[in-house]
Structure 1
Amino acid sequence: MIASESDTIAAISTPLGEGGIGIIRISGNEAISVVSKIFRSPRGINLNNVKTHTIHYGFIVDPFTEEKVDEVLVTVMRAPNTYTREDVVEINCHGGYITLKRILDIVLEHDVRLAEPGEFTKRAFLNGRIDLSQAESVIDIIRAKTDQAQKIALEHLSGRLSDKINQLRQSLMRICAHIEAYIDFPEEDIDGLTEEAIKESINHIIDEIKSLVEGYEKGKIYREGLTTAIVGKPNVGKSSLLNALLMQERAIVTEIPGTTRDIIEEYVNINGMPLKIVDTAGIRQAHDIVEAEGIKRTMKAVEQAELILLILDSSRPIDCLDEEIISKIINKRVIVVINKKDIKSKEFKLPDSLKDKPALEISALMSEGINELKKLIFKTTMTGRYTQEGLLITKLRHKVALEDTLNALNNALESFKRKEPLEITAMFLREGLSFLGQIVGVVTTEEILDLIFSEFCIGK
């Protein structure tokens, strides 16, 4: 079947696997009539005749054999007050994969096609229920790693970002209207039209956009997490630190050097900031092929990490292997974690090369100093970032569109400065409008939509 926006679509909307409930969602003009053909109510209810937003008990049957497939609750929601602004039916059945798959197969036999990834949300956007930035926030809510990340995504879904972008667009449109009115009717007096007033209005918009752009780095961390590598030589306590941060036995800890052979990744919530912790293999001369591969992956993780937790063993002096590791990470953002403070040697001395790096003494095995380390991580990663309580953008696509808008507005100001014809100034202002429109979907392309919704799971 060739995909069309007028098709009735269906998909399993709950995670596959065993569960108390599984949901199959159907959306489109034929959603109610299709489900009515396979639904049997003990009370003889016909779904075609029921009121909107009502739930009905019964059974899904194979319409060709009348064999009962499962006991279900069916929710009927009529357009336009639905997620997609189309007729929507949700079949709540038992959560086993076989049951879900069989019901979905029966639905798909009735001129219904399987939904593409994110197609329900895409239809919500195309049908005007939400704009593009709100649609994007749906996947952020699903993937949120912390309460703060979920809160930011929910603010975007509620339209806070959209309201701000539309406010900026309205301000810019008023400026465009003034300029283009003057271009069309130069002999007329246009109320409020002076070059200085226009420049002031443009600069005000620029300041507001800059504030949004400055918030991106913080927003990105809340959305994606901060990739953090635990690095050090073997047996300094890297896995013990991971376990202490997670407050669970995630990594194997032994006194045998080289126990960790592969990369272990977990998320830690620090003041609402998702910290993606990577426990790496100890860096040393490899003793076998497996350990060599682990060290190779460690070096790759170090390159990609946004923060390094360098673990030093304070029970012994710094040696040449420590120095070699330090040389590999010295130009990164580093927090020095001085481990085993409970058995610290008098001969241990922090190298001069690390004196300007934030450092903290802990005992990972005894979980001492872990809360202080979390505070230091947050302070180190958020210092110098946009920290005011306000609207945060979290997506690179939005940041790029805002930066393009800034360039267009600065070009407009330069056009004034060079005394160029107002038509050129108006052209730059219209460019800025276009870039702002890309964020909320006023201006977009099919390629952008396909890219955005391809990140979604099927069924959302």
Structure 2
Amino acid sequence: MSEPLSLVVQSEPIAAIATPVGVGALAVVRMSGEGVFSIADKVFSKVRSPETSLADSPGYTAHFGKLHDGDRMIDEVIVLVFRSPDSFTVEDMVEITCHGGPVVTQQVLKLLLDSGCRLAEPGEFTRRAFLNGRIDLLQAEAIGEMIHARSESAYRTAVNQMKGGLSGKLGALREQLLQSCALLELELDFSEEDVEFQSREELSGQIEMLQREVEQLVDSYQHGRLLSEGVATAIIGKPNAGKSTLLNVLLGEERAIVSHMPGTTRDYIEEFFIYDKTMFRLTDTAGLRDAEEEIEHEGIRRSYEKIAEADLILYLMDIGSSDYEQEVPAIAELREKHPDGKLLIIANKTDTTEDSMKRMEIVSEKTGCKVLGISALKQDGLDVLKAEMNMMVEGLDKLHDASVLVTSMRHYEALRNAADALQNAHELIEARSETELIAFELRSALDYVGEITGKVVNEEVLNVIFGQFCIGK
């Protein structure tokens, strides 16, 4: 395994396949770094103007010809030339579009590696774009989020961050902090003269304003997380209530095993389901009961973990069962633990009893919960259920138009730390504390904000971020 790349900008030529592995019409293999034009000229022969090398070609030009390893032809390809600094990495770049297929692309990549390139590390092209100043760290992360977006809302949020929406907001915050830090540092330089270059009243007001802006960003994380990760939705209930059947019909595929034997689901199954632009992360859990078997007991323990983590809980009950009222205490207990309206009771198997409506009224009256009736097997009532689920998280799907939204736990934690530092600074000002202590807290806030965009760089953090990218990105 190769060593993680350092913060020093690497200029040696790298190469990687930039498209997914598999059979397709076309694939792209890219190179970046010093000397990539010379490498390409060694293995590529243009059909037109063969006397003109790629090294002499203008940027943003395409050239058709043949890739060859000595006398052996590899493929007919199109080569795109990008000259520094007008490229994604800010370095000289070459992108080779060849025929798709794993063998073809591996042959092209092997040719480039044999001709002087090094295989790129995961995310190294984007990492070079960051280190060369083309994008900041937040924008680099947004590229990864855009690639992995599972919903339109998540995609739009990532695009906005890639365009610099959140970066601009943080940049303005950091600039204000810099000005205050500079004035306090100046005071420290003239400490013997006992002067204030910024009145404490004015500084206190400015910090309060910064606190409000940071807290607003912190508060946006709850919405941003739901957009990027999906609304965590736990499907729970007793064994054989129809949880796996409901998961399958919502997904439109046989994802979970359905059986009349209780305890079939031993572990949770997690899948994504999108309705009206809102993404739900559905979790089919093991049936809740007193299990004697160790494996089933562990599955039930995990079910309770998912219930605790859920943004929305769908409690499924068999309304056709003769002992349906025995579930009332468990439902009432759940409602007591989750009074914020994230619990929805679903009366399943309404087709198995003629008095399902009366039974649902009894459950609703005794638990104080809204009860929806469905037949997962016959797919009755599902449209009403989906609409109700969407209404319970109403507003989340509208947030894709928000100009600034925090979606990353890393950003959230840094902003929380910045908010704490600002609060400390404010309290120190109120207590008429030493300038040096106030300056320390403001510098800490400045560093926390800088960590998000990469103004303050931590190599370990970079390795984690870019290690999540594919090799060709």
Mark yes or no: TM-score above 0.5: yes
2:110 counterpart residue number:
105
**Residues 43-52 or 67-76, more deviating:** 43-52
2:278 counterpart residue number:
273
Q: What is the alpha-carbon distance in structure 2 between the residues aligned to residue 70 and residue 298 of structure 1? A: 56
With over 3 angstroms needed to count, the CA separation of the structure-2 counterparts of 1:316 and 1:126, relative to structure 1, is same
With over 3 angstroms needed to count, the CA separation of the structure-2 counterparts of 1:350 and 1:20, relative to structure 1, is farther
Question: Which amino acid is the alignment partner of residue 94 of structure 1?
Answer: H
Q: What is the alpha-carbon distance in structure 1 between the residues aligned to residue 397 and residue 220 of structure 2? A: 8
1:335 counterpart residue number:
344
Of the three residues 396, 411, 417, the one matched with 2:430 is 417
1:374 counterpart residue number:
386
CA drift of 1:226 comes to 2.8
CA drift of 1:111 comes to 2.4
1:11 and 2:16 aligned: yes
Q: What is the alpha-carbon distance in structure 1 between the residues aligned to residue 241 and residue 290 of structure 2? A: 16
Per-residue CA deviation, residues 105-134 of structure 1 (Å, 9 max, x unaligned), is 111112211111111111000000000100
CA drift of 1:364 comes to 2.2
Gaps (5+ residues) in structure 1? none
User: Does the residue aligned with 1:363 lie in a helix, a strand or coil?
Assistant: coil
1:144 and 2:146 aligned: no
Q: What is the alpha-carbon distance in structure 2 between the residues aligned to residue 242 and residue 159 of structure 1? A: 38
1:35 counterpart residue number:
40
> RMSD of the TM alignment (CA)?
3.1
CA drift of 1:258 comes to 5.7
1:361 counterpart residue number:
373
Q: What is the alpha-carbon distance in structure 2 between the residues aligned to residue 93 and residue 395 of structure 1? A: 36
User: Does the residue aligned with 2:67 lie in a helix, a strand or coil?
Assistant: strand
Q: What is the alpha-carbon distance in structure 2 between the residues aligned to residue 312 and residue 372 of structure 1? A: 17
Q: Is the 8 A contact 2:153 2:397 kept in 1?
A: no
Q: What is the alpha-carbon distance in structure 1 between the residues aligned to residue 43 and residue 366 of structure 2? A: 70
Q: What is the alpha-carbon distance in structure 2 between the residues aligned to residue 438 and residue 284 of structure 1? A: 47
Q: What is the alpha-carbon distance in structure 2 between the residues aligned to residue 152 and residue 384 of structure 1? A: 12
Q: Is the 8 A contact 2:122 2:471 kept in 1?
A: yes
User: Does the residue aligned with 1:129 lie in a helix, a strand or coil?
Assistant: coil
Of the three residues 441, 444, 447, the one matched with 2:454 is 441
Of the three residues 56, 66, 72, the one matched with 1:49 is 56
Per-residue CA deviation, residues 53-84 of structure 1 (Å, 9 max, x unaligned), is 11111121113xx2111121111111111110
Q: What is the alpha-carbon distance in structure 2 between the residues aligned to residue 328 and residue 19 of structure 1? A: 54
Q: Is the 8 A contact 1:218 1:382 kept in 2?
A: no
**Residues 415-424 or 345-354, more deviating:** 345-354
Per-residue CA deviation, residues 310-341 of structure 1 (Å, 9 max, x unaligned), is 11111224459847975996646532211133
1:120 counterpart residue number:
125
2:175 counterpart residue number:
170
Question: Which amino acid is the alignment partner of residue 350 of structure 2?
Answer: K
Q: What is the alpha-carbon distance in structure 2 between the residues aligned to residue 400 and residue 221 of structure 1? A: 16
Of the three residues 29, 50, 60, the one matched with 2:67 is 60
- Provide the identity percentage: 38
Q: What is the alpha-carbon distance in structure 1 between the residues aligned to residue 43 and residue 394 of structure 2? A: 56
Q: Is the 8 A contact 1:149 1:273 kept in 2?
A: no
CA drift of 1:182 comes to 3.7
CA drift of 1:367 comes to 3.0
Question: Which amino acid is the alignment partner of residue 277 of structure 1?
Answer: L
Q: What is the alpha-carbon distance in structure 2 between the residues aligned to residue 130 and residue 62 of structure 1? A: 36
Of the three residues 286, 305, 308, the one matched with 1:303 is 305
With over 3 angstroms needed to count, the CA separation of the structure-2 counterparts of 1:429 and 1:263, relative to structure 1, is closer
Q: What is the alpha-carbon distance in structure 2 between the residues aligned to residue 76 and residue 318 of structure 1? A: 72
Q: Is the 8 A contact 1:229 1:302 kept in 2?
A: no
**Residues 273-282 or 91-100, more deviating:** 273-282
Q: List aligned pairs for 1:203-218, cutoff 5 A.
A: 203-218=208-223
Q: Is the 8 A contact 1:137 1:156 kept in 2?
A: yes
Per-residue CA deviation, residues 263-288 of structure 1 (Å, 9 max, x unaligned), is 4432111343321212345455779x
TM-score by length of 2: 0.86
Q: Is the 8 A contact 1:412 1:425 kept in 2?
A: yes
With over 3 angstroms needed to count, the CA separation of the structure-2 counterparts of 1:262 and 1:348, relative to structure 1, is same
Q: What is the alpha-carbon distance in structure 1 between the residues aligned to residue 206 and residue 136 of structure 2? A: 26
Q: What is the alpha-carbon distance in structure 2 between the residues aligned to residue 179 and residue 375 of structure 1? A: 55
2:238 counterpart residue number:
233
